[in-house]
Amino acid sequence: MENRINGGRQYELDSARGLAILFMIAVHCLEAFSNNNTIDRSPYGIIVEFLGSFTSATVFMILLGVGIIYSKNAKPGLLFKRGVILIAIGYLLNLARGFLPMLLSWKISGSAEWIPYLMIEPFRIDILQFAGLTFIFFGLMKKINLKPAAYVGVLVGFEILNILLQKYAFYFHDIMDYQNPGYYLAAFTGLFWGTSELSSFPFLSWIFYPILGYLFANNLIKQDESTKKRLYTGVLAASALIFTTVFLLCRYFGIDYGWDTDPAFYHHTILGNLVFGSAAFLLISVVFFINRYLPDLIKKTLARWSRNVTEIYFIQWVLIGWIGVVTYYNLFGTFKTVVVTLIVLVISDGLALLYRKVKERNRVK
């Protein structure tokens, strides 16, 4: 790449991803363990829901696209291979966090009410499957040597296709209806667009963010220190303007941009992309300006979480799934929710670090 002036590690992006990991674990624990009062009415629940759902997933997606520009291993074959592995890990996670603990709960309790729950778990489509498809997409684009400007045209095409396919969905009156043949069709098509509640991160709804991150990084990598600050100032101003304008217009005209229900959030189209994408860039830009003032311990911790993002994501979900076997779901108040969140965070961080050290040791041998 020409003009690769700013090709080193971007510490503000490490901090942004580290914060997103914190918010992600907090919102996952909130939604898994908290009662309705904590989720909907407590200040803690409202703040965590906003930061965890509204921005964190989007930050991850944007930084995935940034990584394609900054990675030294962004060759088509390696991207394709990594994509396939991530998809496989995503379905493995479905078994580890949902199917197996629920199977154990069924065996222990003898209650048949567990059967429909454990039957749907292997087919869920989450962020790892999406990330895998995204790496495959970028691998194909690298293979045909698509220029950055052409990604805008690809993105427009995806947005149009996503809107056109919205009517071809297989929503169920009961998501537990695993005997419905359309259920298994939706488990496949949901990888690409929002065809059922099995699909949390369909490709066409979420590819907007990695492409946006790719285009942003293509510009960021060409900046020196003075122009980098100017870039983030412009991104901050533009993000604030877009977020405020689209958010207020949607609220004024009563348009659901993807926040009113879980399916609407996960299966949003262009208006949601603009709201959630601008919110994520607001967070990233603010982190850039405050990062230099953060204590070194906090920056090092956020950077460690950022490097271990995939491992932490996998481990925290497995912990949440198995803790749920013991505690059951959606019973905790605020205090217990905070406690279990800290436990999951500390254990996930420690196990991810241990995994990395063992992996590096074996590589040296």
Instruction: Let me know if residue 244 belongs to a domain.
Output: no
**pLDDT value, residue 270:** 95
Instruction: Let me know if residue 125 belongs to a domain.
Output: yes
> At which residue do the structure tokens 């222990």 appear?
108
Q: Do 308 and 201 fall within a single domain?
A: no
Q: Do 55 and 108 fall within a single domain?
A: no
User: Could you write out the DSSP letters of every residue in 226-272?
Assistant: HHHHHHHHHHHHHHHHHHHHHHHHHHHHT---S-SSHHHHHT--HHH
Residues 6 or more apart whose Cβ sits within 8 Å of residue 267 = 166, 169, 193, 194, 199, 202, 205, 258
> At which residue do the structure tokens 């040296």 appear?
364
**pLDDT value, residue 34:** 94
At 109-118, the pLDDT tens digits run 888 888 888 8
Q: Do 114 and 18 fall within a single domain?
A: no
Q: Do 324 and 197 fall within a single domain?
A: no
**pLDDT value, residue 365:** 63
> What six digits make up the tokens of 50?
């906003």
Which of 202, 201, 212, 205 is closest to 313 using CA atoms?
201
Instruction: Indicate the number of domains in the chain.
Output: 2
> At which residue do the structure tokens 């509204």 appear?
54
Q: Do 41 and 122 fall within a single domain?
A: no
Q: Do 61 and 81 fall within a single domain?
A: no
Among candidate residues 190, 222, 254, the one where a domain is terminated: 222
Instruction: Show the domain range for 205.
Output: 73-222
CB–CB of 169/264 below 8 Å? no
Tell me the H-state helices in 71-190. Answer: 76-94, 100-109, 114-120, 127-143, 148-165, 181-189
At 317-343, the pLDDT tens digits run 999 999 988 887 888 999 999 999 999
**pLDDT value, residue 128:** 97
Among candidate residues 173, 201, 222, the one where a domain is terminated: 222
Q: Do 80 and 204 fall within a single domain?
A: yes
**pLDDT value, residue 229:** 93
Among candidate residues 192, 222, 252, the one where a domain is terminated: 222
Instruction: Let me know if residue 248 belongs to a domain.
Output: no
Instruction: Let me know if residue 247 belongs to a domain.
Output: no
Instruction: Let me know if residue 262 belongs to a domain.
Output: no
> What six digits make up the tokens of 295?
């204590």
Kindly state the DSSP code that residue 332 receives in the 8-state scheme. B
Instruction: Let me know if residue 285 belongs to a domain.
Output: no
Instruction: Let me know if residue 235 belongs to a domain.
Output: no
Q: Do 29 and 62 fall within a single domain?
A: yes
On whether the pTM is more than 0.85, the answer is yes
Residues 6 or more apart whose Cβ sits within 8 Å of residue 53 = 27, 265
Which of 237, 283, 246, 298 is closest to 268 using CA atoms?
246
Instruction: Let me know if residue 231 belongs to a domain.
Output: no
Q: Do 125 and 168 fall within a single domain?
A: yes
Q: Do 54 and 157 fall within a single domain?
A: no
Q: Do 47 and 105 fall within a single domain?
A: no
Residue segments in the chain with a per-residue pLDDT below the cut of 70:
1-3, 170-179, 365
Burial 256-265 (b: 16+ CB within 10 A, else e): ebbbeeebeb
User: How far is it, in rounded angstroms, from Cα 66 to Cα 61?
Assistant: 9
Q: Which amino acid is at 104?
A: L
Q: Do 77 and 214 fall within a single domain?
A: yes
Kindly state the DSSP code that residue 30 receives in the 8-state scheme. H
Residue 30 Cα to chain centre, angstroms:
16
